[in-house]
A and B are shown apart, each in its own frame.
Chain A
């Protein structure tokens, strides 16, 4: 095969990262808009303006999530199986929250009744706020290790509970994630609106930007004390994936190892700070498009920081550390990784091209006049 197995395993760690970051940037901004909807929009016309900033795009954006899930299934089947079944109720909560989005967007303005519309507005709030919160909490738990083990046939058993996921550090990560997505959505809203909505969105940018900076810093400090995981046996990156073949130790500060041994990786958390601060400054100056790019870079830094801290771990096990899932031993076969790599390489640029075209076609400020003129066809 054209690319050797260890390299492909690494590439797939990066690609899953790219898909998750793509999801956070693209689906994230419309989730942020959903979260802000009931607060930034004070009357029906304002809310329709807000919804129509993402109206033509939310569906395409949501596919980042679907494809991210599909790519994890294809590239890391054991991670997909273990995480989705282990986090059963958290995953269902995300799923059920997401239910409100397609129907909320499409059905809300089809009936002219205030309580009908207000119900769907809160539905869009749930669909926008709950998934980032739970994903943040999930990452918070990954960083602490998750209670699961395998039997000899690699059937996974999860021994924790849903409530156990809601511990203080994980909740802090949930706050970071929600603040990040809302911040990003507020910047997008500034870019696409004017007047009162623009001004209120600017306040939201400052508020959630500050919350994000504080939360991200706190989580970083806290991480020094959280016991991390490290592989203590020799690893053969070219070996056939078998998650039961290694030794893992759990020790405080282990999540800092990568930054100590590879100082260049410190660029990732630095990127997070630079992106967020730049986005704040640019948004304050009203340079909204540049601010959106900057907050996208900030998101890349924040998610990248979680990934780099844990590398090569994906899903550490707190009850059976040796069974932790890593980029070396929970992946698909060489052939599948190769095929999926080329499929991504071919289609990702095409997707980015037509998505950009769609945004270009629909570009410009969404105004109250637009909503009134298109009352029969707009959301």
Chain B
């Protein structure tokens, strides 16, 4: 039996390293396009200040990118090191988008980033712009393939179980690629990255303006960030609503948990703004609700119902019962591949196999299963409500707050008076951390909300781990915490140093702080 401690530590390590990686990814995704915009203006107008903007913001982008690469390696290793059974069980499907990501996207991004930094004097203006563009395309394609892989974990389409190979196998590649969950995730996630890039440039430019330094440089940067930021923030909200819809179809569980919807409500369900969640008694002590909205987002209709948590548990209990038959039949097939009766039973109950596997957390043989354990397995299919409910609301609130800021910033950019509005500049400066918090919350809601599964409905998290010792996990977790803390200190130190130094760090002779060496 796999110990719960091993599973918890493996989850903690993956969550910590993935969320740490995701501190750097959104900024990379967003900054690449901002660099493309700035450099396009440079190529079109020939004004050197736009080249300086591309190079200076590119420098900060590079500091961030280095840690993105470093921490991304961890994730590629970690499926194998810590989630070996997962890698075996779904590698036939999950591995393909990861490998294609490398071939199609990561090579492109990483090769051209070298030329972006070192090619200024060796390429014509247009060639260099093309390099920057390829870097942006590579980065965004990279996100696409990673989210195709991740989308498949949420909504495992295009695959079937094989008892001979004891794993899931791909049956329809295009279904995996055009998985609606993956597509919705992709557009929502890259837009969130664009918002992060825009906020980064907006906040730091606002800081220069507040100090009245490098004004021409900062004003131009601010305007680009405001326009790009507003467009991105609006698409995050609209496309986030789109992922709400697909979740409604493929993952009603996550929706019910995120919304603390214990009972199935008459259609169209209301959206709770806030609520006092009582997980023990499976109810909300109080709630403030806007009628109709959730039903509209979740089902795009006025009459379709969204199931509540209690209804989902009751339904899943049936699936656990059927899953037990599937696991029993699978065990028979594994010991005797010629057993035709067992094969037929397996085929009949195969869609519920994953629900039977939930019981492997408690028993080794399905003969030991008791009604209490079946109830527990069914209850296990609902993730904890409180963190999802509040994590989701924090993300949404930040999203709207940022959209409002970008709208004002753009409005005053068009009027041309933003540089003389200290309240706006201060607001922009203080909002710097918002996109990171929102992105982390989004990631958390998506991944925690899928529990207890690594592959929704197919493979329980509990069964996905490598059979390592608990001591190994403590050791590696300590190592990651140590390395990542050090790296974060170094990265933040450099980022703050160069942001403070400003465009003078380029040594062009046109800006403040030119004496400092870099």
Contacts and interface: CB of A to CB of B under 8 A. Distances in A.
B345 interface: no
21 contacts: A60-B107, A63-B106, A73-B98, A74-B95, A75-B95, A75-B99, A80-B87, A102-B67, A111-B497, A112-B517, A153-B334, A158-B467, A335-B171, A336-B169, A339-B96, A347-B104, A358-B114, A375-B507, A375-B518, A376-B505, A377-B118
A56 interface: yes
Interface string B317-359: 0000000000000010011000000000000000000000000
Interface of B: 55, 62-63, 65-67, 69-70, 72-74, 76-77, 79-82, 84-88, 91-96, 98-104, 106-108, 110-115, 117-123, 134, 162, 164-167, 169-171, 173, 331, 334-335, 466-468, 472, 475-476, 479, 483, 487, 490-491, 494, 497-498, 505-507, 517-518
The 10 closest A-B pairs by CB, nearest first: A77-B91, A84-B80, A74-B95, A67-B102, A60-B111, A56-B114, A85-B466, A73-B95, A70-B99, A85-B84
A70 B95 CA distance: 6
Given A55-B118, A81-B88, A103 B111 contact: no
Contacts, number: 255
A367 to B, nearest CB: 14
B76 A70 contact: yes
A89 interface: yes
Interface in A100-114: 101-103, 105-107, 110-112
Contacts of B497: 111
B114 A74 contact: no
Contact of A348 (B103, B487, B494, B507): B103
A154 B92 CA distance: 15
Contacts of B123: 361
B92 A77 contact: yes
Residue from B80, B104, B118 having most chain A Cβ neighbours under 10 A: B80
A99 interface: yes
Contact of A375 (B117, B334, B517): B517
Size class of the A contact interface (CB-based, 8 Å): 35 or more
Q: Name A's interface SS.
A: helix
Contacts of B100: 340, 343, 347
Contact of A358 (B84, B88, B111, B331): B111
Interface string A33-69: 0000000000000000000000111111011001101
Interface string A142-183: 000000000011111110000000000000000000000000
B165 A91 contact: no
Nearest to B62: A106
Interface string A317-357: 00000000000000011011001100110011001001100
Contact of B173 (A96, A103, A240, A335): A335
Nearest to A239: B164
A154 B466 CA distance: 12
Contact of A242 (B70, B122, B165): B165
A80 B67 CA distance: 25
Contact of B87 (A55, A56, A57, A73): A73
A211 interface: no
A111 B74 CA distance: 27
A141 interface: no
Interface of A: 55-60, 62-63, 66-67, 69-71, 73-75, 77-78, 80-85, 88-89, 91-92, 95-96, 98-99, 101-103, 105-107, 110-112, 152-158, 240-242, 332-333, 335-336, 339-340, 343-344, 347-348, 351, 354-355, 358, 361-362, 374-378
Contacts of A111: 494, 497
B16 to A, nearest CB: 15
Contacts of B331: 152
A375 B115 CA distance: 17
A81 B106 contact: no
B39 to A, nearest CB: 15
A67 B81 contact: no
Given A59-B114, A98-B73, A362-B119, A155 B87 contact: no
A67 B55 CA distance: 29
A73 B169 contact: no
B476 A92 contact: yes
